[in-house]
């Protein structure tokens, strides 16, 4: 348990940070106003070598490593967004992240100015909705978004909004093994609350017919459902659904992330911009970084 999540946390953070550097290198030559939006920003810290999932506490510097949001804020001046929108549902996390940013600012560290940084408490889906509405009105704005939930908190509706924006490069953590495979037991008996969560996650009830098989009726004419779909099938299904939504800007495989040797999450990438001049380079960079990350394991 001590090493819970260490590998996947580090890998995803490195991939996202490297992507931001590459994105800013390309985009800052153009006249866009750029936002970094992290709707599951956490506390700013994670325990070194482990994942904050265990306690969510603000840890002392010497015990803790910087999480993604704080690392992004501390990127060198050459790699600056115009806006940073960082959100989390937990009051304690928001307070901790804000305190870390304030301390860096007060200590004269090289972080973006307060007018460029918003640290907000609230549900990620609402934050994304507000940011998509904002982007709709501003033709010269673009964003990179990182959605890094532990579970199934991101609704399909939210992904639809991101796709429609046409302006967002999205890194999305999908809980393939950690949640989806668990709430779709192979025996097919999915409790109503899990069904509801799956409907919200997949934007409707089609997951049932897409991933479950109807068994032959028994002697009494009763047939049941069974999940024959493997974890890889579930992963492929998520990727196909993302392609239905985002079109050609979805990375074909994403990056499988493991916890304790078991495939637990998929780090997916989708560029909402349908113009090949935009999604082409974005996909090439994402692909390069994911291959590097796979090689590093």
Ligand X SMILES: C[S@@+](CC[C@H](N)C(=O)[O-])C[C@H]1O[C@@H](n2cnc3c(N)ncnc32)[C@H](O)[C@@H]1O
- Could you say which residues in the range 37-66 bind ligand X, by CB under 6 A? 39-42, 46
CB of 44 to ligand X, least distance (A): 7
Q: Is 7 in the site for ligand X (CB under 6 A)?
A: no
Q: Is 157 in the site for ligand X (CB under 6 A)?
A: no
Q: Is 256 in the site for ligand X (CB under 6 A)?
A: no
Q: Is 131 in the site for ligand X (CB under 6 A)?
A: no
CA distances from 139 to 38, 142, 167, 270 (A): 21, 8, 9, 20
List the structure tokens of 146: 């990182």
Q: Nearest CA to 157 among 210, 205, 201, 206?
A: 201
Nearer to ligand X by Cβ, of 141 and 148: the residue is 148
Nearer to ligand X by Cβ, of 145 and 239: the residue is 145
Q: Is 124 in the site for ligand X (CB under 6 A)?
A: yes
Cβ–Cβ < 8 Å for 117, 73:
yes
Cβ–Cβ < 8 Å for 145, 128:
yes
Q: Is 152 in the site for ligand X (CB under 6 A)?
A: no
d(CA 38, CA 51): 18
Q: Is 89 in the site for ligand X (CB under 6 A)?
A: yes
- Which residue in the set 131, 141, 148, 169 belongs to the binding site for ligand X (CB under 6 A)? 148
**Exposed/middle/buried for 31, CB within 10 Å: 0-12, 13-18, 19+?**
exposed
Question: By the criterion CB under 6 A, which residues form the site for ligand X?
Answer: 13, 39-42, 46, 67-68, 87-90, 93, 123-124, 148-150, 153
């Amino acid at each position: 348990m001590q090493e819970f999540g260490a590998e996947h946390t580090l890998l995803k953070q490195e991939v996202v940070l490297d992507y931001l550097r590459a994105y800013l290198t390309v985009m800052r030559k153009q006249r866009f106003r750029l936002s970094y939006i992290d709707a599951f920003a956490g506390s700013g810290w994670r325990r070194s070598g482990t994942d904050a999932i265990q306690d969510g506490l603000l840890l002392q510097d010497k015990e803790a490593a910087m999480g993604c949001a704080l690392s992004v804020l501390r990127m060198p001046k050459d790699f600056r967004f115009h806006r940073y929108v960082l959100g989390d549902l937990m009051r304690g996390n928001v307070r901790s992240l804000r305190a870390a940013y304030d301390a860096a600012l007060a200590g004269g560290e090289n972080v973006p100015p307060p007018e460029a940084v918003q640290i907000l408490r609230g549900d990620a889906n609402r934050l994304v909705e507000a940011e998509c509405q904002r982007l709709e009105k501003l033709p010269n704005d673009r964003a990179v978004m990182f959605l890094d939930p532990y579970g199934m908190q991101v609704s399909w509706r939210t992904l639809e909004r991101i796709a429609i924006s046409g302006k967002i490069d999205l890194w999305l953590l999908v809980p393939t093994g950690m949640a989806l495979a668990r709430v779709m037991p192979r025996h097919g008996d999915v409790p109503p609350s899990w069904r509801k969560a799956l409907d919200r996650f997949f934007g409707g009830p089609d997951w049932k017919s897409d991933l479950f098989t109807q068994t032959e009726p028994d002697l009494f004419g009763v047939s049941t459902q069974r999940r024959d779909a493997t974890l890889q099938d579930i992963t492929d299904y998520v990727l196909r659904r993302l392609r239905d939504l985002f079109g050609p800007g979805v990375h074909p495989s994403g990056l499988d992330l493991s916890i304790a040797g078991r495939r637990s999450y998929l780090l997916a990438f989708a560029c909402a911009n349908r113009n090949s001049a935009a999604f082409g380079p974005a996909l090439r960079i994402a692909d390069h970084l994911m291959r590097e990350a796979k090689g590093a394991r």
